[in-house]
Amino acid sequence: MLLRGCVQVYTGDGKGKTTAAVGLSVRAVGAGLRVFFAQFIKTRESSEFAALASLGGHFCLRRFGRGFIRGTPSQDDIMAAQAGLLEAKGAMLSNSYDIVVLDEINVAVSLGLLLSEEIVQLIKDRPECVELILTGRGAPEDIIAAADLVTELREIKHYYHKGIKAREGIEY
């Protein structure tokens, strides 16, 4: 159990935000902590989650996004994100998890699926013993202000620009 949880944000345009949250999760499960990992936006199957679930610890993955959204989000997209936020809040308050990850939540805000005020309220409602991890590019100022730790991942160089496509085991 965590005695003192914090709020961590991983933002910026560089590769590694979700990956850092996955790394934190494996470390936490390895230390006997319980992790609730909520994915907003992304829905592609990704190799790490089967591995994390197989660790035999307490790891729960939930996916609320309806895939990458082009153009204006539909009412269904908004409802999926809102349902996700509610469930994540429930998990945070349930006393069943030490760490709650809101993966790509910043993107859900940028897309207008959620309001940053709703996320700030969730941060305010956080029990002291829960660690909150928020990821996604474009973290709004009020979320950054409410966080204890903020890391910006900056893309200095990316092989996408060389035409290398996403590879199984590396990007997903």
Cβ proximity to a second copy, 120 vs 144, nearer residue:
144
Q: Is 96 in the site for a second copy (CB under 8 A)?
A: no
Using the contact rule CB under 8 A, the part of the chain among 46-54, 64-72, 85-93, 112-120 near a second copy is 46-54
Say how many residues touch a second copy, by CB under 8 A: 60
CB of 57 to a second copy, least distance (A): 7
Cβ proximity to a second copy, 50 vs 86, nearer residue: 50
| Distance in angstroms (rounded) separating the CA atoms of residues 52 and 33 | 13
Residues 103-142 interacting with a second copy (rule: CB under 8 A): 131
Distance, in Å, from the CA atom of 172 to the CA atom of 170, rounded to the nearest integer, reads 6
What is each CA distance from 87 to 40, 93, 102, 103, in whole angstroms? Answer: 12, 10, 11, 14
Query: Could you tell me the two tokens for 8?
Result: 């961590």
Angle between helix 75-93 and helix 116-124 axes, rounded to 10 deg: 10
Q: How far is CA 52 from CA 28, 39, 70, 99, 150, in A?
A: 11, 14, 30, 14, 25
Q: Which of 44, 47, 95, 121 binds a second copy (CB under 8 A)?
A: 47
Q: Residues 148, 109: contact at Cβ < 8 Å?
A: no
Residue of 42, 54, 66, 108 interacting with a second copy (CB under 8 A): 54
Binding site for a second copy (CB under 8 A): 2-4, 6, 8, 10, 12, 14-16, 18-24, 26-33, 46-52, 54-57, 98-99, 131, 144, 147-159, 162, 164, 167-170, 172
